[in-house]
């Protein structure tokens, strides 16, 4: 494709800068940084626009998904494009990049050219990359100890793209143990190193995929997902056990494994605990690097609190948390990092609003509130214990079977899920085989009504409540 690739004029450069700013506002920072930020304007001669991409994958993805956006932005900023070519830009060599571009045109096989009427962008395109990472949840702010050091170092090695025997890292542990922090840190570090890291919750993966199926854009979803160099999936326990979703999840794992790209997954249990996912997926997950993330010991708890206290002093110098208070909070046996920081934040907020000194009495009052009823119980635990009590398979909790033998225990589990967790009705419905929130509401009302007249059922429900409450203590 022999075309003159003359250097861009100052005016062209100004137009391109304006185009970039417009695209950043339209697409958002995550999408812009992933695909548009690395593009460079090579030339804009007589309406023929050439744009350089650093890698073949970026060139192909931009040509297929953002051509119309670039054209519209060029026109909006005063350009008159007749055709656009996305080329594989030559590597930078000292300060002579532009001169090299003039003398070394890209081979025809590396050029994606199209007229000014490319196919429109699909409605779902780009949505996967819209999740904004938490800037403070980095490896620098993650406090390591004996129970999480291995997980943290493994996550960093995946972020830095070190050679690992396994292409899949699987982190598991209870709520608030720091798994989401590690996934966020891994994505941040990978992006800092120029890698395309895509971080999704399992629910988001499921919702985006089912939405793409509904819009008949499943192929676009697959392309967008697999354009990532590093894929991170959080809260795997929230994935819906539908055949289509499970099949796509397995295909995704296989595709990344076959291409030696990395996946990092976090969940509240080990792979063998996912009975509903099937043997194929459990085997795939177990074949990766499986690492538990445990509760911190006292030394680690104290180190976490001192780190946060140091940050607080820099942010709010007038709020001082004495060491003896930090020691008292660190004594919270069995507390997760999330619970520790919850108590710390309450104490800090109290000090900031009242302008009173933080004493041990203030700490004890907040700690006592933490030990009151309300610790989390998982819906999966409720389903499992209810199924065991009524001699059912836990899969019956997700099934469509409506026989009384299955339907009544399932309603009891739905009722307990609403009573013992903070989950919304739609969320509970999704955990029970994708049911509507009205089904959950009906079940709760039905069990409440029956308990008023059926003494035996009331005793059964109370027994299960006590059993599950003991698990939370």
pLDDT less than 50: residues of the chain:
1-10, 93-126, 371-375, 473
287 and 260 co-located in one domain? yes
Q: What whole-number distance in Å separates Cα of residue 279 and Cα of residue 158? A: 26
Among candidate residues 228, 261, 292, the one where a domain is terminated: 292
At 444, list the tokens.
């709760």
Beta strands in 74-164 (DSSP E): 83-88, 111-115
**Residues 88-127, buried b or exposed e (16+ Cβ, 10 A)?**
bbbeeeeeebeeebeeebbeeebbbeeeeebeeebebbbb
327 and 286 co-located in one domain? no
Among candidate residues 253, 277, 292, the one where a domain is terminated: 292
Q: What whole-number distance in Å separates Cα of residue 43 and Cα of residue 6? A: 6
Q: What whole-number distance in Å separates Cα of residue 254 and Cα of residue 24? A: 33
At 160, list the tokens.
């830095």
The answer as to whether 108 is a domain residue is yes
What pLDDT, in 10s, does the model give residues 338-390?
Answer: 889 889 988 988 888 888 899 988 888 888 765 444 446 889 999 999 999 98
The answer as to whether 124 is a domain residue is no
416 and 444 co-located in one domain? yes
- The burial of 163, by beta-carbon neighbours within 10 Å (0-12 exposed, 13-18 middle, 19 or more buried), is given as exposed
The answer as to whether 4 is a domain residue is no
Q: How many structural domains is the chain composed of?
A: 4
Residue 242 confidence (pLDDT):
65
CATH number for the domain harbouring residue 103: 3.30.300.180
Residue 115 confidence (pLDDT):
38
249 and 317 co-located in one domain? no
Residue 203 confidence (pLDDT):
83
What pLDDT, in 10s, does the model give residues 241-288?
Answer: 567 788 888 888 888 888 888 999 999 889 988 877 778 888 889 889
Residue 124 confidence (pLDDT):
38
Instruction: Return the C-alpha torsion angle 64, 218, 424, 271, nearest 10.
Output: -110
Residue 418 confidence (pLDDT):
86
17 and 120 Cβ atoms separated by less than 8 Å = no
97 and 176 co-located in one domain? no
DSSP state of 169: E
459 and 337 co-located in one domain? no
Residue 92 confidence (pLDDT):
52
309 and 288 co-located in one domain? no
The answer as to whether 191 is a domain residue is yes
Sign of the four-CA dihedral 171, 174, 179, 180: positive
276 and 177 co-located in one domain? yes
CATH number for the domain harbouring residue 173: 3.40.50.300
The answer as to whether 65 is a domain residue is yes
143 and 284 co-located in one domain? yes
216 and 115 co-located in one domain? no
The answer as to whether 5 is a domain residue is no
CATH number for the domain harbouring residue 351: 1.10.8
195 and 58 Cβ atoms separated by less than 8 Å = no
> 77-81 long-range contacts, Cβ below 8 Å, gap at least 24?
77/15, 77/18, 77/19, 77/22, 78/15, 79/15, 79/19, 79/44, 79/49, 80/47, 81/44, 81/47, 81/48, 81/49, 81/116
Among candidate residues 119, 143, 176, the one where a domain is terminated: 119
The answer as to whether 2 is a domain residue is no
Q: What whole-number distance in Å separates Cα of residue 190 and Cα of residue 183? A: 11
CA angle, 111 then 116 then 121, to 5°: 85
180 and 237 co-located in one domain? yes
Q: What whole-number distance in Å separates Cα of residue 385 and Cα of residue 435? A: 20
Could you tell me the residue range of the domain that residue 61 belongs to? 10-119
The answer as to whether 128 is a domain residue is no
CATH number for the domain harbouring residue 400: 1.10.1750.10
309 and 278 co-located in one domain? no
153 and 274 Cβ atoms separated by less than 8 Å = no
């Amino acid at each position: 494709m022999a075309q003159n690739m003359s250097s861009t004029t100052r005016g062209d450069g100004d137009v391109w800068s304006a185009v970039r700013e417009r695209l950043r506002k339209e697409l958002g920072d995550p999408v812009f940084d992933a695909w548009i930020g690395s593009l460079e304007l090579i030339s804009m001669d007589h309406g023929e626009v050439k744009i350089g991409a650093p890698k073949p994958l970026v060139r192909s993805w931009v040509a297929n998904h953002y051509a119309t956006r670039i054209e519209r932005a060029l026109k909006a900023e005063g350009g008159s494009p007749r055709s656009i070519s996305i080329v594989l830009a030559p590597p930078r060599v000292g300060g002579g990049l532009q001169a090299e571009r003039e003398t070394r045109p890209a081979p025809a096989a590396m050029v994606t050219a199209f007229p000014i009427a490319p196919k429109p962008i699909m409605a779902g395109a780009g949505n996967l990359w819209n999740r904004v990472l938490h800037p403070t949840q980095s490896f620098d702010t993650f406090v390591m100890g004996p129970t999480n050091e291995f997980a943290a170092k493994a996550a960093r090695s995946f972020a830095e793209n070190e050679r690992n025997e396994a292409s899949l890292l699987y982190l598991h542990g209870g709520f608030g143990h720091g798994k989401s922090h590690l996934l966020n840190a891994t994505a941040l570090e990978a992006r800092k190193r120029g890698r395309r890291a895509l971080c999704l919750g399992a629910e988001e993966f499921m919702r985006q995929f089912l939405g793409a199926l509904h819009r008949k854009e499943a192929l676009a979803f697959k392309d967008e997902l697999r354009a990532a160099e590093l894929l991170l999936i959080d809260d795997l326990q929230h994935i819906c056990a539908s055949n289509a979703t499970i099949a796509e999840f397995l295909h995704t794992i296989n595709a990344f494994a076959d291409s030696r790209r990395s996946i990092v997954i976090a969940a509240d249990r080990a792979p063998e605990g996912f009975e509903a996912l099937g043997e194929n997926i459990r085997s795939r997950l177990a074949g990766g690097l499986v690492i538990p993330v445990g509760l911190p010991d006292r030394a680690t708890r104290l180190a976490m609190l001192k780190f946060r206290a140091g940050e607080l002093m820099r942010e709010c110098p007038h709020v001082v948390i004495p060491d003896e208070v930090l020691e008292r909070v660190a004594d919270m046996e069995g507390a997760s990092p999330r619970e520790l920081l919850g108590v710390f934040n309450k104490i800090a907020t109290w000090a900031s609003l009242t302008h009173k000194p933080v004493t041990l009495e203030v700490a004890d009052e907040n700690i006592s509130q933490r030990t009151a009823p309300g610790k989390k119980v998982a819906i999966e635990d409720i389903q499992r214990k209810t199924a065991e009590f009524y001699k059912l398979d836990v899969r019956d909790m997700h099934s469509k079977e409506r026989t009384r033998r299955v339907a009544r225990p399932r309603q009891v589990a739905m009722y307990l899920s609403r009573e013992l967790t903070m989950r919304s009705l739609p969320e509970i419905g999704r955990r029970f085989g994708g049911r509507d929130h009205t089904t959950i509401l009906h079940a709760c009302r039905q069990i409440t009504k029956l308990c008023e007249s059926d003494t035996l059922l009331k005793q059964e429900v109370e027994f299960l409540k006590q059993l599950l409450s003991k698990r939370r203590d």
